[in-house]
Structure 1
Amino acid sequence: MKKASVIMIFGALLVLGLYVYPLWQIMLGAPQYPDPLGMNIHIDGIRGASEFDIQNIDGLNHYIGMQKLPKAEEMWEFKTFPLIIGTMIGFGVLIGIMGYLGKVGYQWFLGWFILMIVLGSLGIYDFNKWMIDYGTNLDPDAIMKLTNPDGTPMTYKPPILGHTKMLNFDVTSLPATGAWMMFSGMILSLLATYVGWKSKEK
């Protein structure tokens, strides 16, 4: 059980990467932008992949009536997510230590993994909800009013995952380094659960 507990502690600590690296990245490439524009979504705010990317994205969005990208203080999520992540890291380390001391069983490691899945799913749902509003709630007085072939207003929601074409832009949305560190930590918690279960069988 001690080996499983060490794996659990290491897995929880890997999630600390979210405080350093972005969780998600959205890139926009077009012929007029040989170096794609990008925004990195951190747990505490949105930053440009390069120095002037946010400014350039907001400038492009202005023409079609999209909102400016929100500042950290304009979204409650950017204040709440760091607290939730910190709590989950602390909880993961605590149950790892308790497991090492023989105070809790491997089931707690699985419980941490399940709770991370639930919180992650809620985060993705909230992120997608924001992107729907960001891409569809357009200014009716925008300089350019583009429509679909059926006459309905064109929307510009970025994909939650993968690639799509919006006008002449190729938009790609993928997990970034912080997300991969979090996923790795969650996988390690599953490994800790398995190792703990096997140690109890002996």
Structure 2
Amino acid sequence: MKKASILMIIGPLFLLGLYFFPLWNIMLGAPQYPEPLGMDIYIDGIKGTNEFDIQNIDGLNHYIGMRKLPKPEEMWEFSTFPIVIGVMVALGVLIGVFGFFNILTHKWFIGWFLFMSILGVLGMYDFNAWMIDYGTNLDPNAIMKLANPDGTPMSYKPPLFGHAKMLNFDVTSLPATGAWMMFIGMTLTLVAFYLGWKKEPKNKESEIKNYATT
């Protein structure tokens, strides 16, 4: 159980990478941009992959009626997510420490994993909802008003995951370093649960044998 508990302590600590590395990355490539434009999405804000990327993206969005990319103070998520991650890291480490001293069982490990998974799904849902609003709620007075073949207004929602073609831009949306660190950390907590679960039957079997010999 001690090995499992150590993994349970280490796993949540990987989530601290979200404070330093981007969670997601969206790149926009086009013939007129030899070097693609990109934005890195952190848990506390959005930054350009290169120095002037945000400025250039906002300039392009202005022509088709999209709003400027939000500043940290303009979205509640950017102030809430860092707190949520901090609480989950502290909770995970505490569960691991209690497991090390046999105060809690390995079932708490999977409980933390499932709770963090639910929060992750809710975060992705919120992120996708924001992109839908960002790409479809356009300024009716925009300089360029483009429509689909059926006459409906064109949507500029970036893909949540993968590649999409928008006008002459190739848009790619993929997890970034922070997301992979979170994935590694959560995987370690799942391994911790497995090790604790694997050891439990052996402990019960030894107790039965000891009882039988007395």
Q: Shorter chain as normaliser: what TM range? A: over 0.9
Q: Deviations over 1:93-129 (max 9, x none)?
A: 0000000010000000000100011000100010001
Aligned counterparts of 1:150 and 1:195: Cα–Cα separation in 2 = 56
Note the 1:52-91 alignment, pairs <5 A.
Answer: 52-91=52-91
Q: Does 1:8 align with 2:8?
A: yes
Q: Deviations over 1:1-32 (max 9, x none)?
A: 00000001110101110000000000000001
User: Which residue does the alignment assign to 1:193?
Assistant: 193
Residue 154 of structure 1 aligns to which amino acid in structure 2? M
Aligned counterparts of 1:2 and 1:33: Cα–Cα separation in 2 = 54
Aligned counterparts of 1:28 and 1:169: Cα–Cα separation in 2 = 6
Q: Deviations over 1:140-168 (max 9, x none)?
A: 00000001111111110000000000000
User: Which residue does the alignment assign to 1:160?
Assistant: 160
Aligned counterparts of 1:118 and 1:198: Cα–Cα separation in 2 = 25
Q: Percent identity?
A: 72
User: Which residue does the alignment assign to 1:93?
Assistant: 93
TM-score, length of structure 2 as denominator length? 0.94
SS of structure 2 residue aligned to 1:172: strand
Aligned counterparts of 1:111 and 1:34: Cα–Cα separation in 2 = 47
Q: What is the RMSD computed on CA atoms of the aligned residues?
A: 0.5
Residue 160 of structure 2 aligns to which amino acid in structure 1? I
User: Which residue does the alignment assign to 1:123?
Assistant: 123
Q: Deviations over 1:39-72 (max 9, x none)?
A: 0000000000000000000000000000000000
Aligned counterparts of 1:21 and 1:201: Cα–Cα separation in 2 = 40
User: Which residue does the alignment assign to 1:29?
Assistant: 29
User: Which residue does the alignment assign to 1:43?
Assistant: 43
Aligned counterparts of 1:36 and 1:103: Cα–Cα separation in 2 = 52
Count of residue pairs the alignment pairs up: 202
Aligned counterparts of 2:186 and 2:152: Cα–Cα separation in 1 = 43
Q: CA deviation at 1:86?
A: 0.3
Larger gyration radius, structure 1 or structure 2: 2
Q: Structure 2: which 5+ residue stretches go unaligned?
A: 203-214
Residue 158 of structure 2 aligns to which amino acid in structure 1? P
TM-score, length of structure 1 as denominator length? 0.99
Aligned counterparts of 2:201 and 2:175: Cα–Cα separation in 1 = 37
Aligned counterparts of 1:34 and 1:179: Cα–Cα separation in 2 = 27
Residue 78 of structure 2 aligns to which amino acid in structure 1? F
SS of structure 2 residue aligned to 1:159: coil
SS of structure 2 residue aligned to 1:4: helix
Q: Structure 1: which 5+ residue stretches go unaligned?
A: none
Q: CA deviation at 1:85?
A: 0.3
SS of structure 2 residue aligned to 1:156: coil
Residue 134 of structure 2 aligns to which amino acid in structure 1? Y
Aligned counterparts of 1:178 and 1:69: Cα–Cα separation in 2 = 21
